[in-house]
Amino acid sequence: WDFLILFFCLPVVIFNEITKKRLLGDMSCRIVPFMEVSSLGVTTFSLCALGIDRFHAATSPQASTRPIEQCQSIIAKLAVIWVGSMTLSVPEILLWQLAQDTSPVSGVVTEYCTMKPSSNLPESIYSLVLTYQNARMWWYFGCYFCLPILFTVSCQLVTRRIRGTEKKSECRGTKHGQCESHLNCTIIALTIIYGLCTTPENVCNIVVAYMSPDMSKQTLDLLNLINQFFLFFKCSVTPVLLLCLCRPLGQAFMDCCCCCCEGCGPDTTSSESSADSKLKTEMSSSIFFDKPRETPPPLLALGTPC
């Protein structure tokens, strides 16, 4: 989802800031906020799922021999996270719409997105969207900021409490203990990056909610642009951080990249020639010996010591 944000939403936002025209028109005003809020939901619920997984790993009676999770279970969790995040973001599609403003000085028509439900919606849906708009600030703060941070911190504290000093002393220095601590550090790092990148947006939302009549449209647009670029920064840093900290995932990613590039893969001709030469050497040695020697024969000292 981070890649979708960078490859779709980032070009649309940059194009809008340069040309003052909305790329794809009214559709971009609805799709971009929908994808951005869905990105927050995917990250939030993914951090919660990772915290639960670390808790189960710590409380498992046989943590070192815990079986690998089935692919169907992982796909089911991913489906719940993605479908749930997109479902909670559906009101964003109905909340935003395209508007135009004409400059009184230059007469240039600029297009911008405004948070205003369409009056053509059915009355029941219109009331729900209006309720969502009024509660949007606190919904952002509670669900997409407090929930992942508190959930991750709580899971980490409970995990450390359950392990205790005795279990830590047993796992200390072992490969399994190092792997568990490395995964916990990865989740903590992801949570810190997420918290730092979403804090400005939540602060701006609270400030704008109480001071919006005293702020100009240019200031509000600038704050909105800063919040979007913090989201883009989070989406660009999170995959890199995950690939660097999670070594198995990073190695698998590099192997996939090398499979796509012919230059990174091993030279098949050289490997085949080396295999053929090795086979010929073994066949030539079998002419003189009934079975190949495990160690090379001692060399005779010929010539002078020089």
pLDDT value, residue 292: 44
φ, ψ at 69 (rounded to 5°): -65, 140
* Domain annotation covers residue 277: no
* Domain annotation covers residue 267: no
Confidence band for 118, pLDDT divided at 50, 70 and 90: confident
Q: CATH number of the domain that 45 lies in?
A: 1.20.1070.10
* Domain annotation covers residue 221: yes
The phi-psi region of residue 303 (left if phi > 0; otherwise alpha if psi is between -120 and 50; otherwise beta) is left
* Domain annotation covers residue 296: no
* Cβ-contact 35, 5 below 8 angstroms: yes
**Average pLDDT along the chain:** 76
Paired with 111 in beta bridges are: 100
> d(Cα 81, Cα 47) in Å, to the nearest integer?
10
* Domain annotation covers residue 269: no
Query: In percent, how much of the chain has pLDDT > 90?
Result: 13
* Domain annotation covers residue 192: yes
Q: Over 80: is that where the pLDDT of 213 sits?
A: no
Give how far Cα 142 sits from Cα of 136, 231, 269, Å.
Answer: 10, 17, 59
* Domain annotation covers residue 293: no
- Worst-scoring range by mean pLDDT, 158-167, 186-195, 210-219? 158-167
User: Which range marks the domain in which residue 46 is found?
Assistant: 1-60+69-166+176-260
Confidence band for 42, pLDDT divided at 50, 70 and 90: very high
Q: Which residue has the higher pLDDT, 5 or 258?
A: 5
* Domain annotation covers residue 294: no
pLDDT value, residue 86: 93
Q: Which residue has the higher pLDDT, 103 or 231?
A: 231
DSSP 68-137: PPPHHHHHHHHHHHHHHHHHHTHHHHHHEEEEEEE-TTT--EEEEEEE---TTS-HHHHHHHHHHHHHHH
Q: Mean pLDDT, to the nearest integer, of 150-167?
A: 76
Confidence band for 21, pLDDT divided at 50, 70 and 90: confident
Q: Over 60: is that where the pLDDT of 221 sits?
A: yes
Q: Which two tokens stand for residue 59?
A: 């409380």
Give how many domains the chain has, as a whole number.
1
pLDDT value, residue 165: 52
Q: Mean pLDDT, to the nearest integer, of 204-215?
A: 76
Q: Over 80: is that where the pLDDT of 81 sits?
A: yes
The sign of the CA dihedral 138, 142, 144, 145 is positive
* Cβ-contact 226, 166 below 8 angstroms: no
* Cβ-contact 87, 103 below 8 angstroms: no
- pLDDT tens profile 268-288: 444 444 445 444 444 444 433
Residue 286: count of CB within 10 angstroms of its CB = 11
